[in-house]
């Protein structure tokens, strides 16, 4: 039996960020991970550190996202200093491209709503028409009508970020155990014993950061975590000379020069394979926005399963039946990594979530069911 | 680094290798044409820019990426030469014409 | 989209060609998709043109090569649809095959899919192996057969396996003498118990000894080496090696490497076929029944892609698998299929029995499989070195190749892990102290060959505007 200050289940972006955050506080976490092949939403993450589309009608989410995006550069710098690994983070702002007047109009209304709901936080945006957008993104094609732009958006390499978080966790004395699928949990208030991969681990704090696995794990500690998979398919191109200076919601160019194309959503259960039809449609939209892509070769496609709550918001909660057990789940593992490391980790060790995160408790689903 | 054996048929197809007009026997691939007429390295990597040249000549290694008739990153060992083909080294990442 | 074929065969080497001939005989509507411009695969590369225009070279290349001509002619004569110059980039077991031909992407359908993509050279990661002027023996043979090209100046062949000696001999017969042959592995004692099986397959032993005699008679030095590195800054200039405890250097212009062949497996992996690790051949084999049926009912595998069996073995496997497809499609009765494949099965078994001797004799030692020098490049595309991989396993507990891939991009380049996959899994297994079978392999996804965004955008499939906001 090994004793720790906290057990974090799930070695993806969420779990690793929280575990690193705990280690950073000078405490001793252990991070339990599955094997080399598992759902692993993090490996399929697009890499946006995105604010502009988040939290319509939910100002708490807008604020939480914005806070993470604002601290990301610092977070990235810290990881670089500690591990020598760069996350590739850049924050040049971002655009959401519209291919019709109707789309652009809809986008404008959305941005305006976000602006109003932001209140004091002050959400600034611009609606750009073709000519102005072309100055920012010379490669856009004639079919592009315009876009919404905010300066709060950016992107990072999710895999480099993962690697940096892993290295930083170990540097701060954290423990990482792979091939350790959870077999059983013995739960008591502020005391948890986990049997995983043939070993036992004990700690007063438990964090469920296991993505789709949180549903089953949650049941063991009195947490209702209604997450389901939503598939996203992504295309990656060969390395190109720089051509996209700012990221868009559906496309971004990485530090290595490859272009990632995405943003599809499907309810396909746990099937993370790609389908030619969706890839075809993604390619169609991509070429329409950026005609130069026609002759660019793709090197890889993949499908990954987003971890989605019914309302698309994160789920943050401490178990009332077993205080000390927390769940931390979202579908924006990159964007929220900074806040998970810097703030959520602190809340976990403090044993209480602040009022600003109450909106993300699972009790919101009960309310809906009751209503 | 390679030369034609005697007993090769004398017919030649004219191609341009790195700007030089040369002749190769019919049935040559662009990569073979490079081995016969090109410089020692046929590309520089998009990662560090180090020099590379064809390795497997059967389409699995992707070291023979070259520019053929203006199209970048073509696997030269899988393209059969035709009259007038322009074959050039692939230098680093592909350029994009916007 | 056109009609649904009974059988689609991917690959036109000996397995693919023999399968096509049998399939035609059994009246299956068959289409063959071949990446190469002409049939023959790698082993019979360029054979038609060679026979037509350089028949003298045909003799020099040896009798085995000439046998391929017969098969190629039978292939050309059979009533199948042959699509040459065709790269397959995705195969759905449900029956759709996505390909690219003449710069245009297309789709065809078949009820059964027989994959015969053959073998490729086992990667041989030695210091300096990425330098210009370093090629595989297979490449040396390809340009010799298909193009009548031979290396200029000084050159060595390094590694182990019959192909090393064969290429050396073929070049020597053409008047192009290697400067030296550097042998890295020769497991005389491990191979000895399998000698009987080897002798059962006609000709191998005689051929092997014959090659050695030929090379010795031509005065070509053959050294057994325990260390080997290629030197040069922008191209290969010299090789350094240790032989009998003494360090030596030879100046060279070209180096040919070879340490056996392994299945060219990305197509099989992309189909999510079950595989098993073969520790003698040190590679993964798709799990197949006696007829070549894979773990997915619609897919069969024939030839070296199913595990290295050699050219003759590949032919027999192709013939047998085509018969199995015909049975499964109800085109021929089980008894009839048994009868038509009986001789092939016996001959295949003989070929298979001969393998263990060679496999053991030339099973590369650990240091040639998992390079000990930290600076040796393992992933050529992304320039990931051996030291980095070891560090990730020992210091960050990296459990497998997919985590490795996501952390350092090993396997993420255009070759999609073809040249680094086996090295990576062997290194992870070695560092973790577990068998390779526990480590697994990269997750391989389509496209398995390059295709452009334009190709995908114009693909003849329904749009999914429900999944993608258009």
Question: What is the predicted pLDDT for the residue at C208?
Answer: 74
User: Under DSSP, is residue C466 helix (H, G, I), strand (E, B) or coil?
Assistant: coil
Distance to chain C for A188, nearest Cα, Å: 30
C146 and C112, same structural domain? no
Whether C94 has its CB under 8 Å from any CB of chain A: the answer is no
Per DSSP, B60 falls in state S
Q: Note whether C467 contacts A284, CB cutoff 8 Å.
A: no
Whether A127 has its CB under 8 Å from any CB of chain B: the answer is no
- Mean pLDDT to the nearest integer, A37-50: 86
Token pair in block for residue C272: 């999510």
- Mean pLDDT to the nearest integer, A281-307: 95
Nearest one of A55, A10, A48 to A29, comparing CA atoms:
A10
Q: Note whether A293 contacts C454, CB cutoff 8 Å.
A: yes
Whether C408 has its CB under 8 Å from any CB of chain A: the answer is yes
The answer to whether A46 and A339 are in contact (CB under 8 A) is: no
Whether A239 has its CB under 8 Å from any CB of chain B: the answer is yes
Whether the per-residue pLDDT at A301 is higher than 60: the answer is yes
Q: Note whether B5 contacts C151, CB cutoff 8 Å.
A: no
Nearest to B2 among C42, C149, C413 (CB): C149
For residue range A147-184, what is the model confidence (pLDDT) as tens digits? Answer: 999 999 999 999 999 999 999 999 999 999 999 999 99
Question: What is the predicted pLDDT for the residue at A42?
Answer: 82
Sheet of A146-150, strands arranged across: A94-98, A146-150, A126-129
Last residue within a domain, chosen from C224, C259, C294:
C259
Whether the per-residue pLDDT at B25 is higher than 90: the answer is yes
Per DSSP, C330 falls in state T
* pLDDT over 70, % of chain A: 99
C41 and C154, same structural domain? no
CATH class of the domain whose range is A2-80+158-227+311-370? alpha beta
For residue range C273-306, what is the model confidence (pLDDT) as tens digits? Answer: 999 999 999 999 999 999 999 999 999 999 999 9
Chain C residues with beta carbon closer than 8 angstroms to that of A39: none
Question: What is the predicted pLDDT for the residue at C193?
Answer: 80
Whether B36 has its CB under 8 Å from any CB of chain C: the answer is yes
Distance CA C255, CA C249 (A): 13
Question: What is the predicted pLDDT for the residue at A38?
Answer: 80
Token pair in block for residue C258: 């070879």
Please state the pTM of the whole predicted model.
0.92
Chain C residues with beta carbon closer than 8 angstroms to that of A275: 464
Is C451 contained in some domain? no
Nearest to C415 among B36, B40, B62 (CB): B62
For residue range C9-26, what is the model confidence (pLDDT) as tens digits? Answer: 999 999 999 999 999 999
Whether the per-residue pLDDT at C3 is higher than 90: the answer is no
What are the helix and strand counts (H, E) for chain A?
10, 19
Whether B82 has its CB under 8 Å from any CB of chain C: the answer is no
For residue range C223-268, what is the model confidence (pLDDT) as tens digits? Answer: 999 999 999 999 999 999 999 999 999 999 999 999 999 999 999 9
For residue range C33-61, what is the model confidence (pLDDT) as tens digits? Answer: 999 999 999 999 888 988 888 877 777 77
C-alpha torsion C16→C18→C24→C28, nearest 10: -50
C136 and C44, same structural domain? no
Contacts of A345-349 with C-beta under 8 Å, sequence gap 24+, read A345/A17, A345/A18, A345/A19, A345/A20, A345/A21, A345/A22, A345/A24, A345/A25, A346/A21, A346/A25, A348/A6, A348/A18, A348/A22, A348/A205, A348/A207, A349/A5, A349/A6, A349/A22, A349/A25, A349/A27, A349/A205
Give the A:B interface size as CB pairs under 8 Å: 32
Q: Note whether B94 contacts A139, CB cutoff 8 Å.
A: no
C45 and C153, same structural domain? no
Is C455 contained in some domain? no
C109 and C87, same structural domain? yes
Distance CA C215, CA A236 (A): 49
Q: Which residue of B has its CA nearest to A289?
A: B98
C147/C67: higher pLDDT: C147
- Mean pLDDT to the nearest integer, A298-318: 94
- Residue keyed to tokens 């086992």: C122
C230 and C328, same structural domain? no
- Residue keyed to tokens 């876009």: A147
Chain B residues with beta carbon closer than 8 angstroms to that of C11: none
Whether the per-residue pLDDT at C196 is higher than 80: the answer is no
Partner A, chain C 414-453, Cβ-Cβ below 8 Å: 414, 416, 439-440, 443, 445-447, 450-453
C106 and C146, same structural domain? no
CATH assignment at residue C426: 1.10.10.1100
Nearest to C132 among B4, B53, B59 (CB): B53
β-sheet bridge partners, residue A329: A315
Q: DSSP string spanning C96-132? A: EEEEEETTEEEEEEEEEEEE---EEEPP---TTTTST
Is C393 contained in some domain? yes
C148 and C112, same structural domain? no
Q: Note whether A240 contacts B96, CB cutoff 8 Å.
A: yes
Sheet of A315-318, strands arranged across: A175-177, A29-32, A6-9, A206-208, A325-329, A315-318
C197/A306: higher pLDDT: A306
Total residue count of chain C as it appears in this document: 470
Q: Note whether B98 contacts A243, CB cutoff 8 Å.
A: yes
Whether C218 has its CB under 8 Å from any CB of chain A: the answer is no
Q: Note whether B93 contacts A257, CB cutoff 8 Å.
A: yes
Is B98 contained in some domain? no
Q: Note whether A162 contacts C396, CB cutoff 8 Å.
A: no
Chain B residues with beta carbon closer than 8 angstroms to that of C150: 2-3, 5
Question: What is the predicted pLDDT for the residue at C237?
Answer: 97
Nearest to C468 among A43, A179, A282 (CB): A282
Nearest to A240 among B47, B71, B94 (CB): B94
Is B71 contained in some domain? yes
The answer to whether C324 and C292 are in contact (CB under 8 A) is: yes
Q: Note whether A292 contacts B93, CB cutoff 8 Å.
A: no
Whether the per-residue pLDDT at A369 is higher than 60: the answer is no
C144 and C232, same structural domain? yes
ipTM of the complex: 0.97
Look up the domain containing C203 and give its range: 123-259
Question: What is the predicted pLDDT for the residue at B97?
Answer: 75
Whether C239 has its CB under 8 Å from any CB of chain A: the answer is no
The answer to whether B79 and B68 are in contact (CB under 8 A) is: yes
Q: Note whether A297 contacts C412, CB cutoff 8 Å.
A: no
C142 and C67, same structural domain? no
Q: Which residue of C has its CA nearest to B74?
A: C450
For residue range C381-410, what is the model confidence (pLDDT) as tens digits? Answer: 999 999 999 999 998 889 999 999 989 999
Helix axes A158-171, C386-396, angle to 10 degrees: 50
Architecture of the domain made up of A228-308: 2-Layer Sandwich (3.30)
Nearest one of C458, C448, C461 to C421, comparing CA atoms:
C448
Question: What is the predicted pLDDT for the residue at A367?
Answer: 60
Whether the per-residue pLDDT at C66 is higher than 80: the answer is no
Q: Note whether A170 contacts C451, CB cutoff 8 Å.
A: no
Question: What is the predicted pLDDT for the residue at C205?
Answer: 65
Question: What is the predicted pLDDT for the residue at B5?
Answer: 93
Nearest to C130 among B29, B52, B59 (CB): B52
Question: What is the predicted pLDDT for the residue at A331?
Answer: 93
Chain A residues with beta carbon closer than 8 angstroms to that of C92: 276
C131 and C247, same structural domain? yes
Question: What is the predicted pLDDT for the residue at C220?
Answer: 96
Chain A residues with beta carbon closer than 8 angstroms to that of C450: 238, 297-299
The mean pLDDT value of chain A amounts to 94
Look up the domain containing B46 and give its range: 26-91
Domain count along chain C: 3
Whether A287 has its CB under 8 Å from any CB of chain B: the answer is no
Token pair in block for residue C69: 């001509």
Question: What is the predicted pLDDT for the residue at B98?
Answer: 63
For residue range C312-344, what is the model confidence (pLDDT) as tens digits? Answer: 999 999 999 999 999 999 999 999 999 999 999
Whether the per-residue pLDDT at C202 is higher than 70: the answer is no
Is B32 contained in some domain? yes
Question: What is the predicted pLDDT for the residue at C82?
Answer: 98
Is B1 contained in some domain? no
Question: What is the predicted pLDDT for the residue at C203?
Answer: 63
Domain count along chain B: 1
CATH assignment at residue B30: 3.10.20
Distance CA A166, CA C108 (A): 45
Distance to chain C for A176, nearest Cα, Å: 7
Is B2 contained in some domain? no
* pLDDT over 90, % of chain A: 91
Token pair in block for residue C337: 């299929």
Give the B:C interface size as CB pairs under 8 Å: 127
Mutate to test the interface with C, among A32, A36, A231 (most CBs of C within 10 A): A36
* pLDDT over 90, % of chain C: 82
Q: Note whether C418 contacts B60, CB cutoff 8 Å.
A: yes
CATH assignment at residue C191: 3.50.50.60
Question: What is the predicted pLDDT for the residue at A366?
Answer: 78
Whether B22 has its CB under 8 Å from any CB of chain C: the answer is no
Is C365 contained in some domain? no
Chain B residues with beta carbon closer than 8 angstroms to that of C121: 56
For residue range C70-86, what is the model confidence (pLDDT) as tens digits? Answer: 999 999 999 999 999 99
Whether the per-residue pLDDT at A370 is higher than 60: the answer is no
Whether the per-residue pLDDT at C469 is higher than 80: the answer is no
């Amino acid at each position: 039996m090994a004793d720790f200050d906290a057990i974090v289940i799930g070695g993806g972006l969420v779990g690793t960020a929280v575990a690193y955050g705990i280690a950073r506080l000078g405490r001793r976490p252990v991070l339990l991970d599955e094997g080399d092949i598992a759902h692993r939403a993090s490996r399929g993450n697009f890499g946006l550190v995105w604010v502009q589309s988040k939290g319509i009608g939910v100002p708490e989410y807008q604020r939480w996202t914005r806070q993470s995006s604002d601290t990301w550069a610092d977070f990235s710098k810290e990881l670089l200093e500690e591990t020598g690994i760069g996350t590739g983070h850049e924050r040049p702002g971002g655009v959401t491209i519209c291919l019709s007047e109707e789309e652009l109009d809809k986008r404008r209304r959305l941005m305006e709503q976000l602006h109003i709901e932001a209140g004091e936080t002050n959400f600034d945006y611009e609606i750009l028409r073709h000519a102005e957008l072309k100055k920012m993104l010379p490669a856009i094609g004639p079919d592009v009508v315009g876009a919404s732009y905010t300066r709060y958006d950016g992107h990072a390499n999710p895999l480099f970020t993962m690697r940096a978080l892993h290295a930083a966790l170990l540097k701060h004395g954290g423990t990482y155990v792979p091939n350790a699928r959870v077999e059983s949990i013995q739960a008591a208030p502020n005391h948890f014993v986990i049997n995983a991969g043939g070993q036992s681990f004990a700690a007063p704090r438990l964090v469920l950061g296991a993505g789709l696995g949180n549903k089953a794990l949650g049941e063991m500690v009195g947490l209702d975590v209604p997450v389901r998979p939503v598939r996203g398919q992504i295309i990656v191109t060969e390395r190109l000379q720089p051509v996209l200076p700012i990221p868009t919601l559906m496309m971004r160019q990485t530090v290595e020069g490859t272009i990632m194309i995405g943003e599809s959503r499907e309810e396909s259960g746990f099937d993370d394979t790609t389908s030619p039809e969706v890839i075809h449609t993604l390619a169609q939209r991509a070429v329409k926005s950026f005609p130069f892509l026609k002759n660019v070769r793709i090197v890889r496609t993949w499908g990954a399963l987003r971890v989605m709550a019914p309302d698309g918001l994160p789920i943050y909660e401490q178990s009332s039946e077993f205080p000390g057990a927390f769940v931390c789940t979202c579908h924006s593992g990159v964007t929220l990594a900074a806040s998970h490391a810097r703030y959520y980790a602190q809340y976990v060790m403090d044993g209480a979530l602040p009022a600003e995160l109450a909106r993300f408790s699972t009790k919101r689903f009960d309310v809906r069911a009751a209503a | 680094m390679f030369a034609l054996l005697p007993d090769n048929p004398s017919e030649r197809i004219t191609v341009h290798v790195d700007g030089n007009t040369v002749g190769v026997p019919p049935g040559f691939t662009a990569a073979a044409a490079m081995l016969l007429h090109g410089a020692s390295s046929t590309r520089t990597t998009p990662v560090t820019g180090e020099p590379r040249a064809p390795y497997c000549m059967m389409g699995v290694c992707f070291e023979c990426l070259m520019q053929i008739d203006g199209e970048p990153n073509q696997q030269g060992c899988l393209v059969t030469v035709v009259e007038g083909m322009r074959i050039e080294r692939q230098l680093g990442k592909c350029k994009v014409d916007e | 989209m056109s009609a649904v074929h009974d059988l689609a065969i991917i690959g036109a080497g000996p397995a693919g060609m023999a399968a096509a001939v049998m399939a035609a005989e059994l009246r299956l509507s068959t289409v063959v998709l071949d990446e190469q411009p002409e049939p023959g695969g790698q082993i019979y590369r360029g054979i038609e043109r060679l026979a037509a225009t350089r028949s003298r070279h045909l003799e020099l290349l040896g009798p085995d090569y000439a046998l391929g001509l017969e098969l190629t002619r039978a292939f050309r004569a059979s009533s199948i649809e042959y699509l040459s110059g065709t790269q397959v980039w995705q195969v759905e077991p449900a029956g759709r095959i996505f390909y690219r031909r003449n710069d245009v992407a297309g789709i065809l359908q078949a009820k059964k899919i027989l994959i015969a993509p053959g073998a490729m050279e086992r990667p041989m990661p030695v210091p300096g192996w990425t330098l210009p002027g370093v090629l595989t023996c297979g490449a040396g043979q390809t340009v010799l057969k298909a193009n009548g090209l031979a290396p200029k100046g000084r050159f060595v062949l390094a590694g182990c396996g019959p192909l090393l000696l064969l290429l050396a001999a073929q070049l020597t017969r053409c008047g192009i003498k290697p400067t030296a042959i550097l042998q890295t592995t020769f497991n005389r004692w491990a191979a000895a118990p399998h000698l009987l099986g080897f002798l059962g397959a006609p000709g191998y032993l005689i051929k092997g000894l014959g090659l050695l005699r030929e090379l010795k008679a031509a005065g070509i030095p053959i050294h057994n080496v325990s260390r080997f590195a290629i030197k040069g800054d922008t191209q290969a200039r010299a090789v350094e090696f240790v032989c009998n405890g003494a360090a030596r250097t030879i100046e060279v212009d070209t180096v040919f490497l070879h340490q056996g062949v392994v299945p060219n497996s990305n197509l099989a992996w992309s189909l999510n076929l079950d595989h098993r690790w073969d520790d003698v051949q040190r590679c993964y084999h798709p799990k197949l029944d006696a007829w070549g049926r894979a773990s997915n009912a619609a897919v069969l595998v024939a030839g070296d892609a199913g595990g290295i069996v050699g050219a003759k073995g590949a032919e027999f496997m192709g013939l047998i698998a085509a018969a199995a497809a015909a049975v499964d499609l109800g085109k021929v009765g089980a008894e009839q299929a048994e009868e038509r494949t009986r001789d092939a099965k016996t001959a295949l078994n003989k070929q298979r029995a001969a393998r263990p001797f060679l496999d053991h004799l030339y099973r590369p030692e650990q240091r040639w499989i998992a390079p000990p020098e930290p600076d040796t490049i393992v992933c050529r595309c992304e320039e990931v070195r051996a030291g980095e991989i070891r560090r990730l396993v020992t210091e960050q507990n990296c459990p497998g190749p997919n985590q490795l891939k996501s952390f350092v991009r090993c396997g993420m380049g255009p070759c999609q892990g073809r040249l680094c996959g086996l090295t990576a899994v062997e290194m992870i297994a070695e560092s973790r102290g577990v068998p390779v079978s526990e480590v697994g392999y990269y997750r391989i996804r389509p496209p398995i060959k390059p295709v452009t965004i334009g190709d995908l955008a114009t693909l003849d499939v329904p749009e999914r505007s429900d999944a993608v906001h258009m």
